[in-house]
Amino acid sequence: MKVSILVAAAALMTAACSSAQAANFEFWYGNTGSVEKAILAQCDAFNASQTENHVTCVGQGSYEVSMQKAIAAYRSNKHPVLIQFFDAGTLDLLLSDAVVPVQDVLPDVDWNNYIKGARSYYETSGGKLYSQPYNSSTLLFYVNKTELAKAGVTEMPKTWEDIVEAARKLKAAGNECPYVTNGEPWSMFEQFSARHGLPIASKHNGYDGLDAEYVFNTTFFAKHLQNLIDWRKEGLVKIASDTKAGNYTAAFNSGECAMMENSSGSYTDSSKAFAGKYELEVGLTPMYKRLRASQHLRRRCVHLHHEGP
């Protein structure tokens, strides 16, 4: 599952038919696992609550596949009324003229009830809500506390420097997969840049104009990417294809790998997989010590400024 996030996902109303109040309509979603079960339960509850409308919820296997199928379905005029898109597809939809802004469809809803930080993921640069916030995931840091303890690591790593130190101890203790990542942009790139306060593109990350240019190659992210390459060569980091499981979540849940960054949506599956075998610990995603200290200082300066006369 993605977040991005960011990584964030949105349920968008499309012009599938002449009325969004059709008696029977489809809702396409891209989740699997425990999240899919929750969505299907929500669909069943909606259908059981009334008889005027009926929704058929169709899983597409992933956000990427759902987006590809939606584009093909729209071109053939066989698209659903509702579809869940992830954040990476938002701009494509905004520029496509294929979607109806949710504020236009449901003008009487008080959309300000959404937390501003979450709502902003679904808005245009002018503050118009194009899609309805549906489900959002937060990137978290997952640790197999049992395996770390065997290697002599007794405290949860909080910085990338801590992770490397713990990874070297794990490797020395015989662990062949100290840290695993899926290598996807939302976690490695977008979330990393966001929490370190680094821009991805010019013009307010593209919000101030479509002629924005990528600048991430000039930020500390480029150094982080090189670090990951070096750590992989050292045997401290594996990507999903390096693992026996071939999937980074499965590699962690099986005990093959000891540490990973993953969506909060994976917590249920990881905790169930660890039950009776390992002790799971989950914390905030790591930052580099130097940048973490710099951000703390900036926040402290702002705090002191507001306390002054």
Provide the CATH number for the domain around residue 258: 3.40.190.10
Question: How many angstroms separate the Cα of 46 from the Cα of each of 228, 244, 292?
Answer: 46, 41, 45
150 with 287, same domain? Answer: yes
According to the model, what pLDDT value does residue 132 have? Answer: 82
**Residue 307 in domain:** no
Average model confidence (pLDDT) for the chain?
Answer: 85
Q: Identify the pLDDT of residue 305.
A: 41
Flag whether 2 is in a domain.
no
Q: Is residue 304 part of a domain?
A: no
* 303 inside domain: no
Give the end of a domain, one of 136, 168, 201.
136
Whether 189 and 116 map to the same domain: the answer is no
Domain total in the chain: 2
Instruction: Tell me: pLDDT of 16 over 50.
Output: no
Beta bridge partners of 282: 142
Select the more confidently predicted residue: 283 or 88.
283
Task: Please say if the pLDDT value at position 104 is more than 70.
Answer: yes
In terms of residue numbers, what domain contains 22? 8-136
Question: Do 147 and 13 share a structural domain?
Answer: no
pLDDT tens, residue by residue, 153-169? 999 999 999 999 999 99
Looking at residue 33, what is its pLDDT? 83
CA distance 99 to 254: 41
pLDDT in tens, 223-265: 999 999 999 999 999 999 999 999 999 999 999 999 999 999 8
Residues 116 and 27 in one domain: yes
Residues 178 and 58 occupy one common structural domain: no
Q: Are residues 147 and 124 in the same domain?
A: no
Whether residue 122 is found in the same domain as residue 161: no
- Mean pLDDT, rounded, for 16-24: 54
Q: Considering 84, 113, 136, which residue would you say is the last residue of a domain?
A: 136
Mode of pairing for the β-strands spanning 237-239 and 82-86: unpaired
Span 187-227, pLDDT tens digits? 888 899 999 999 999 999 888 888 999 999 999 999 999 99
The answer to whether residues 186 and 6 touch, using CB atoms and an 8 Å cutoff, is: yes
The answer to whether residues 72 and 207 belong to one domain is no
Torsion-angle region of residue 132: left (phi > 0), alpha (psi -120 to 50) or beta? Answer: beta
